[in-house]
Amino acid sequence: MMSHYFGLEKVTSETVAIMEMSKKRMQYLEESAKLGKERLQRELKEIEKELLTTKELIKHFEQLENEARFRLLEVSKESANYSQQAINQAYERAKEILLELGSLRERERQLNLRYDELECSLKDTNEHLMAVLQRRYLASEIIHAQEEERRRVAREIHDGPAQSMANLILRAEVCEKLLDLDLDAVRKELSEFKVLVHKSLQEVRRIIFDLRPMALDDLGLIPALNRYLETLRKKYNITISMEILSSGEQQRLSPSIEVAIYRVIQEALQNTIKHAEANCVKVYVDYAPQCLVVRIIDDGKGFPAEEYLQNPHIDSYGLLGMKERVEILDGQLSINSQPGEGTEIMVILPLAY
């Protein structure tokens, strides 16, 4: 039992350390995105001002061009009344204005191009910032969910094993008092005492299994999954199969990866049972040479996966949690689903992590 406890402590410590690193990384990304957004906004304002000034100059030089054209037309028609120098000056003046006007129009074109580029960059930055903020929000939701889980476990222990232990103490005291009075009554009490101990032990084991199945530490990912799937088959009367593919070497993985895969599959199957109305679910686990690939496919009613991930609400926190758990381990998670078409979830985790 102590080895399981220390194994759980080790994995918990690793998970906490990874989440702390992820939290710092998200804070850094958020700050970088905000600074980038502010820089783009400043540059956009500067270009807006420069565009306004350039447009005013173009308008001014267009007026000068009209005046220069009129002057040039005048000296050309009545060249006999003007000196050659005056005619040359009119031509030079018109030429200078045209060159300056062309330069200003080119400047306006370049500024408009840069403005469009900055708007696109700002849009991308906003989307990136929203994604970072979404991840931070998800992180807070995960922390909230963890606290709720702690409360749930505390309630279960209080209402189950703790009450049983209190009852056992009372029974033990009764046995002590009956020892010198009625041995038959003591035997009866001890018999009931054993039943209570057995029930309490079962309850404690159930709580421990819900928190972390010991088979995951003792036997590894596949045996733990087999036990979990068998539990779901009996409890929900649903067809669930698992196929192990080994294009690479099947091996025990790091505790972080095994826990992540177990929890992702657990969450995916719970979602299927709760929402998909599926008759059949297939789980494929492929030990590829450089990565572990997992696919969970059901024949349920499907859902708009992209919409759920982009606009999270209470029903999509599980999906976002799965995605976050995988990305913390530098993996990838994709969800392919549309209403009426079933759902396929694919996870790819690098084994070198």
**Residue 2's pLDDT is what?**
39
Cβ burial, residue 196 (10 Å; 0-12/13-18/19+): middle
- Three-state DSSP state, 37: helix
In a shared domain, residues 236 and 275 = yes
In a shared domain, residues 207 and 226 = no
**Residue 316's pLDDT is what?**
52
For residue 107, which amino acid is it? R
- The number of beta carbons lying within 10 Å of the beta carbon of residue 221 is 23
In a shared domain, residues 335 and 191 = no
In a shared domain, residues 10 and 151 = yes
The domain boundary, picked from 212, 232, 258, lies at: 212
**Residue 345's pLDDT is what?**
93
**Residue 3's pLDDT is what?**
45
Query: Which range of residues forms the domain containing residue 25?
Result: 1-212
Measured N-to-C along each axis, helices 84-157 and 2-77 cross at an angle, to the nearest 10 degrees, of 160
Instruction: Count how many domains the chain has.
Output: 2
Give me the helices (H) in the chain, please: 2-77, 84-157, 163-178, 183-211, 214-218, 221-236, 255-271, 305-310, 317-328
Q: Give the CATH number, domain containing residue 264.
A: 3.30.565.10
| Contact indicator for 307, 261 with CB cutoff of 8 Å | no
- Three-state DSSP state, 59: helix
In a shared domain, residues 200 and 95 = yes
At residue 98, φ and ψ (nearest 5 deg) are -65, -40
In a shared domain, residues 187 and 276 = no
The domain boundary, picked from 177, 212, 247, lies at: 212
| Contact indicator for 104, 60 with CB cutoff of 8 Å | no
Cα 227 to Cα 230: distance, rounded to the nearest angstrom: 5
The domain boundary, picked from 212, 228, 247, lies at: 212
At residue 299, φ and ψ (nearest 5 deg) are -105, 30
In a shared domain, residues 175 and 246 = no
In a shared domain, residues 205 and 228 = no
Cα 140 to Cα 345: distance, rounded to the nearest angstrom: 24
In a shared domain, residues 227 and 172 = no
Which residues lie across from 283 on neighbouring strands? 242, 296
213 Cβ partners below 8 Å, 6+ apart?
224, 227, 228, 262
At residue 242, φ and ψ (nearest 5 deg) are -135, 135
For residue 228, which amino acid is it? Y
Cβ burial, residue 337 (10 Å; 0-12/13-18/19+): buried
DSSP, res 158: I
Longest dimension (CA), the chain: 147
First-to-last C-alpha distance (Å) of the chain: 29
**Residue 169's pLDDT is what?**
76
In a shared domain, residues 123 and 226 = no
In a shared domain, residues 219 and 207 = no
pLDDT in tens, the chain (353 residues): 434 444 444 544 555 555 555 556 556 556 766 777 788 788 888 888 888 999 999 999 889 888 888 888 887 777 778 788 887 888 888 888 888 888 888 888 888 888 888 787 777 766 665 655 555 555 555 555 565 666 666 676 766 776 777 777 777 777 777 776 777 777 777 777 777 787 777 777 767 666 666 777 778 888 889 988 988 888 888 899 999 887 656 677 888 788 888 888 988 898 888 888 888 999 999 988 888 899 999 998 988 877 766 665 545 556 777 887 788 788 888 989 888 888 999 999 888 64
Task: Give me 307's structure tokens.
Answer: 């919409």
In a shared domain, residues 77 and 197 = yes
